[in-house]
Structure 1
Amino acid sequence: MAARVVTVAFEGVEARRVDVEVQLVGNDGPIVFAIVGLPDKAVAESRERVRGAFAGIGLALPSRRIIANLAPADLPKEGSHFDLPIALALLAAMGVIAPDALDGWAAVGELNLDGQIAPVGGTLPAAVAASAMGLGLICPEANGPEAAWAGDVNILAPRSLIGLVNHFKGAQVLRAPEPGPVRMGASVPDLREVKGQESAKRALEIAAAGGHNLLFVGPPGSGKSMMAARLPGLLPPLTPQELLETSMVWSVAGLIERGALTRDRPFRAPHHSASMAALTGGGLKAKPGEASLAHNGVLFLDELPEYSAQALDSLRAPLETGEIVVARANAHVRYPARFQLVAAMNPCRCGIGGAGKGACGKAPRCQRDYQNRISGPMFDRIDLTVETPPVTASDMALPPPAEGTAEAAARVAAARAMQEDRLRAAGIDPAIARGQAVNARASGETLDRFATPDTPGRALLMRAGEAGGLTARGWTRTLRLARTIADLDGCDGVLRRHIAEALVYRRSTVGAQGDFERQARHHADACFLKDF
């Protein structure tokens, strides 16, 4: 006798259909339980968990050969969520539940030895996949509120295997779970608490308005990490589409508790000892890394040169493409990774740099060697580089600034509204044009149409590019940055002063640093001040 139920296997955040077929072969022989279909160690161990769960509810395995086939056979099967579908198909094959009771259902869940159903990761993408297949989803009780976020899909969320059997027999009725709560994130410290560093605050506001990558360079205690921690308070909440995308990544990582979601944008701050796999994803089961967990949010890298060169350079492609591909011998796993990079670093290893009181005695060689730990292509992907000088005692003695997070966030929201209005006026839905929704990702015709500067601005950009050696990427990113500055200024067009300010923040590659770059930055500074 045979029975079948549907489950899923995960490839990144994509849940692919797997048919679990269980067949009982022979009569009154020794109990042989085999699982085939490219299972990993956790799936192979399902035999003992299913055996223990059956004993926990008073059932014994039949004295027959039990074959559980996971099809398609060439798709790798990983994780403990195959326990429940294997147990359900076996119950149907044994006649404990009706064979047609499982029609129209997919199932995920891990079994305890007492028959309880333990929570698993990936329930939200599993529910979305079940809905796309026209099926309902059976999942653990703890994952029910999470699965309910998938929308129009039937959800059964039993606490135990016996409860699910009673439901199918009609002795008990399981009620559909409600979606989990939308929680407020942790309170973000106010920008008003930062004294001094007005230029850095301005750069932080520009970065928030356009989604630009930002680097703070300054000695210890100058407020770099302090300002980065206040960036989430300037960013708008996640849109419904972004919330679903982000939550699916967190679901696969097992980071959603009791179905509770938040519309706050992710803010991930890994330690500088993090490996390449920790940043980009990987490991035995190719789990998402910090870059994917920061999808639609911020990835903050403090002490930037202290990260390994391999780990930092692994972020170069995701910064351009918005996704990460984890390559394995038998599969390529894709994770979304559209994040905003914010980084901080000291000017040299001793932290002080080559100017001011207590200057490094090895400057400028110490600074050059320390900054050369970061590759030129990585620097080229950073839109704003801002120096944060030491905060003086007179700065600390001043009263708190008049403006804080609320005022800056209002300007950021107005600038982002202008960006969306432009897309709508051009006949582009911002919710669909994911790559064009903020200025930092504008490209092609959209960039040419909305970020082309006026004649004086174009002439300034040409002179700065010829003097400072802007790469093609640097040219494009300067235009994007100038477009954001114009949005904060409330201007429809990009003017010379917007180009000048963008060039002030722009840093050429390390290899290009020298007299040409200093001349270009000095020229841009002079033009910027002249315009004001």
Structure 2
Amino acid sequence: MGLARAWSVALFGVDGVVVEIEADVGAGAVATQLLGLPDAALHESKDRVRAAIRNSGHDWPTQRVTLGLSPAALPKGGAGYDLALASVVLAAAQSVPAERLATTVLLGELALDGRLRGVRGVLPSLLAARRAGLREAVVPVESLSEASLVDGLTVRGASSLTEVVAWLTGDDAALRPAPPPEAPRPVPTADLADVLGQPEARWALEVAAAGAHHLLLSGPPGTGKTMLAQRLSGLLPPLTSQEALEVTAIHSVAGLLSAEAPLVGAPPFIALHHSASVAALVGGGTGLAKPGSASKAHRGVLFLDEACEFSRVGLDALRTALEEGEVRLARQAGTVRYPARFQLVLATNTCPCAPPKEIDCTCTPKDRRRYLAKLSGPLLDRVDLRVKMRPLTAMTGAEVSAPEPTAVVRERVLKARTRAAERWSSHGQPWRTNAEVPGPSLRQEFALPRQTTALLDRALTTGTLTGRGADRCIRVAWTLADLAESDRPDASHVAAALEFRERRASW
């Protein structure tokens, strides 16, 4: 009968590749053949699409149907191609005009009765389609609010294959237009005023928020480690428009978005139980790997409570992400990359028995070493701030002045972050926080005087500090200077940064 083509998108992590879908209906034995490295879910789409077309009042071609997905060597999977496959078959069979398919990307899974179901990854898919020059998109109605976040595309929503067929035949009113993008909804956060005492830990939390540094809280149970960690995201500034799209794209691929709140505008806070697997931490799965908690916490906070109860393999799997800000997952079907620039907060007891007072500990030295060894030296070397929590006493609840609320501390954090962003941008650099500044730039373009870094030189000479640790001390020193509204760190800031690394919990 004929040949037609349509467009869809294959996702590799949060990167999309536009896929050209061709349908040939012609002479030959009656059969349907799907080409282009489909996975099991996509291979089954032949039967779903055939049933959806018949139940929508149209005839499936009684000739040989060949469906090709190009690039042919690119692995493809999922049910998101169903709508494009159905449309291109109908166009090749000359049941609908093919003109509108030439510039339109189609996404959605079809039910057997022709209803259109939502799929994951609509936002990154449409961003890829826009880059490829496509001008229109048809998505499921439930994904319409997410799709409206993409500028430069005319987005329409459909609830069934019947509506899409009507639109292809010229009925512009058959599909729903995209609503205007909604502003991100405020996310309620717990207040820092709820935490009593712990002045050192509160100060470390403020420094971590101001410079995007990683933090380790250790101490007896019930001293407020978890409470402090849960309040870190409330100190962070809202995401920029570009950061919000990055985070929303990851959450879209992970299936975490809702129609009521399609845009993630606040830094995410992700907390994991210590029984989490390596795949849950950094991502994994069969076929192309799915994002893990490290990527879901991109531009936000990843909190690991009872860190020494996690597997050492899982904790060490975070090391590359802490250093490079992304996770690379290699599988047989291909390698995907997920952004993972998060702030890591670790909370742990100092021994397995975890008594309220250390003098009551019943653990042997071997037990303590085995317990604390879960936090390996290379992992701890990437943690900028280490704080030992104080046991609560009767005096802690009777402070002379009330604890500072989140709003007061957040104002200081925002000022420090603004100073850092303006400083780096004035030198033509893209960094927004001190934690992002590369080590070579710290030592060359923004080198501090020798007398300022004398303590670091001494620690490097004695072997108590690594080169990576020295770079991280300098980053913390810049953050302390920003909080003090100083132009450059001095020796006291460097000494305070070094002290944060030397506050060990017993390891």
Calculate the TM-score normalised by the size of structure 2.
0.94
Residue-by-residue CA offset, 1:404-448 (whole Å, 9 max, x unaligned)? 1111101100100110121232233xxxx1xx2211121245423
CA distance in 2, matches of 1:81, 1:40: 12
- The question of 1:463 aligning with 2:432 is answered no
CA distance in 1, matches of 2:481, 2:355: 34
CA distance in 2, matches of 1:271, 1:182: 32
Q: What is the correspondence of 1:21-60 to structure 2 with a 5 Å cutoff?
A: 21-26=22-27, 30=30, 32-60=31-59
- The question of 1:497 aligning with 2:492 is answered yes
Q: Contact 1:384 / 1:505 at 8 angstroms: preserved in 2?
A: yes
Residue-by-residue CA offset, 1:99-124 (whole Å, 9 max, x unaligned)? 22311111111001121110001111
Q: What is the correspondence of 1:167-316 to structure 2 with a 5 Å cutoff?
A: 167-173=167-173, 174-258=175-259, 260-284=262-286, 285-316=288-319
Any idea what SS the aligned residue of 2:290 has?
A: coil
Q: CA deviation at 1:292?
A: 0.6
Q: CA deviation at 1:452?
A: 3.9
Any idea what SS the aligned residue of 1:490 has?
A: coil
Residue-by-residue CA offset, 1:372-402 (whole Å, 9 max, x unaligned)? 1221100100000100121112212447724
Aligned length: 502
Q: Contact 2:353 / 2:362 at 8 angstroms: preserved in 1?
A: no
Q: CA 1:438 to 1:386, structure 2 compared with 1: closer, same or farther past 3 Å?
A: same
Q: CA deviation at 1:278?
A: 1.0
CA distance in 2, matches of 1:468, 1:146: 52
Residue-by-residue CA offset, 1:72-108 (whole Å, 9 max, x unaligned)? 2211111100111100100101111112231111111
Q: CA deviation at 1:168?
A: 1.9
Q: What is the correspondence of 1:433-448 to structure 2 with a 5 Å cutoff?
A: 433=430, 436-444=431-439, 446-448=441-443
Any idea what SS the aligned residue of 1:333 has?
A: strand
Aligned to 1:140: 140
Q: CA deviation at 1:334?
A: 0.9
Residue-by-residue CA offset, 1:440-469 (whole Å, 9 max, x unaligned)? 121245423676444543222222333452
Q: Contact 1:470 / 1:508 at 8 angstroms: preserved in 2?
A: no
Q: CA deviation at 1:509?
A: 9.6
CA distance in 2, matches of 1:228, 1:248: 25
Aligned to 1:155: 155
Q: Percent identity over the alignment?
A: 42
Any idea what SS the aligned residue of 1:427 has?
A: coil
Q: Which amino acid counterpart does residue 72 of structure 2 have in structure 1?
A: A
Q: Which amino acid counterpart does residue 396 of structure 1 have in structure 2?
A: G
Q: Which amino acid counterpart does residue 269 of structure 2 have in structure 1?
A: F
Aligned to 2:413: 412
Q: Contact 2:386 / 2:503 at 8 angstroms: preserved in 1?
A: no
Any idea what SS the aligned residue of 1:42 has?
A: helix
Task: Give the CA RMSD over aligned residues.
Answer: 2.0
My pick for the range that moved more, 145-154 or 363-372, is 363-372
Q: What is the correspondence of 1:501-512 to structure 2 with a 5 Å cutoff?
A: 501-507=496-502
My pick for the range that moved more, 239-248 or 202-211, is 239-248
